[in-house]
Amino acid sequence: MKSKMKRYLVLEDGTIYQGQAFGATRVSEGELVFTTGMTGYQEAITDDSYASQILVFTNPLIGNYGVSLADSEDIQSNCAGVVCRQLARVIDSWRSTATLDQFLKQQDIPGISGVDTRAIAQKLRRSGAMKAQLVDDVPTQMSRQKSAPFALAIKAQTQPYMIPGEGYRIVVINYGTKQSILRELIKRNCNIVVVPATYTAAQILSFKPDGVLLSNGPGDPQDFPDTIATIQNLQQQTVLFGICLGHQLFALANGAQTFKMKFGHRGFNHPVKEIATGRSLFTSQNHGYAVEPASLENMELIETYVELNDDTVEGLRHKKYPAASVQFHPDASPGPHDAVEVFDDFISMIDTHKEEQLAKKK
């Protein structure tokens, strides 16, 4: 039997883990983060919010149901690497078109198995997310010197594209949007236009949108200064709704602040409370930055949802404009569907805004 090739996960604090190689054969570098999701490895790997990050799966076994094109959140993954305890040797799903190993080779993403992912997750919880490398040569240790933030691997969308529908015209600003968000809008028969993050307010408003959605995406929200003025302009003229990174950008556009979390929220079991009703939801989340609660004081923003484990700001609404946001993923692909009605709330905001605009004309 052919022996598996060795691969090493090298952390910037000098820790080295030895395991077995799978996926692409190349050196990879990125921010090391972990997710607690028990399913949905393909959706996570193809989620552009993980761009330039090496993803540790805390669930012991991944790859057991293979991969299917229908489950990808993007056609090309921008994840920097995959770390798991055990890679399934046998897959069992009628939907599968390839193994995870084959998929990662096609996507040019290296993986490592046979390492103690529980110990890695505990280290990241203690020390915080850190820089790491996947290498095939025997390493000494990685430089402990902090480097500049990793350049985002997202390939820029240069032209808008359309997903036809007969309902509301929704413009989605693409910072790294998941296909599951678009699917939820399609279910509501929306006429969708997806535009690059570089589009101005004037360009977006030229589509005559009923509403604008600020998508999820990777990285530090403060790395998107050019979009702040766009959001400020849009929220005064149309209905606005943000998800994940879009939530953070919405907060920044209204004077709040954001901060880098120690190890972030990544998984499908995060409890969130809707403040107005006291109702609790389990949510899917994937973010390393959050809105600073103290920065909301004396702002035109109202907190609508809060994370029950650490009091993270999970939702906002503008006091004056028809604009709101959530930090979690209401599309939850995969994950609990407790919060999917947030998309209906977005549609209701549009209906209310239209009624108010019609009343003003009378």
Q: Are 49 and 78 in contact (CB under 8 A)?
A: no
E-assigned strands of the chain?
A: 6-11, 16-23, 28-35, 53-57, 61-62, 81-83, 86-87, 110-113, 130-135, 161-163, 169-174, 191-196, 211-214, 239-243, 258-274, 280-291, 301-307, 313-318, 323-326
Catalytic: 345?
no
The span from the CA of 330 to the CA of 349, in Å, is 16
Question: Has 37 been labeled as part of a binding site?
Answer: no
Q: Say whether 246 counts as a known binding-site residue.
A: no
217 in a known ligand binding site: yes
* Cβ atoms of residues 75 and 49 within 8 Å: no
Alpha-carbon gap, residue 65 to 115, rounded angstroms = 21
Q: Where does residue 268 rank: exposed (0-12), middle (13-18), buried (19+ CB within 10 A)?
A: buried
Rounded to 10 deg, the angle between the 226-234 and 245-253 helix axes is 80
Backbone φ and ψ of 219, nearest 5° = 85, -170
Say whether 248 counts as a known binding-site residue. yes
**286 annotated to a ligand binding site:** yes
User: Which residue type, as a one-letter code, is found at position 136?
Assistant: D
Which residues have CB under 8 Å from 254's CB, separation 6+? 232, 299, 300, 301, 318
Q: Which residues are CB-neighbours of 257 under 8 A, at least 6 positions away?
A: 251, 291, 292, 295
Distance, in Å, from the CA atom of 2 to the CA atom of 19, rounded to the nearest integer, reads 16
Catalytic annotation present for 329: yes
Indicate if 244 belongs to the active site: yes
Catalytic residue (choose from 190, 244, 247, 270)? 244
Tokens of 134: 């996947």
Q: Is 289 annotated as a binding residue?
A: yes
Angle at 324 between CA 322 and CA 326, to 5 degrees: 165
- Point out the annotated binding site: 49, 217, 219, 245, 248, 286, 288-289
Active site amino acids: 244, 329, 331
- Point out the annotated binding site for L-glutamine: 49, 217, 219, 245, 248, 286, 288-289
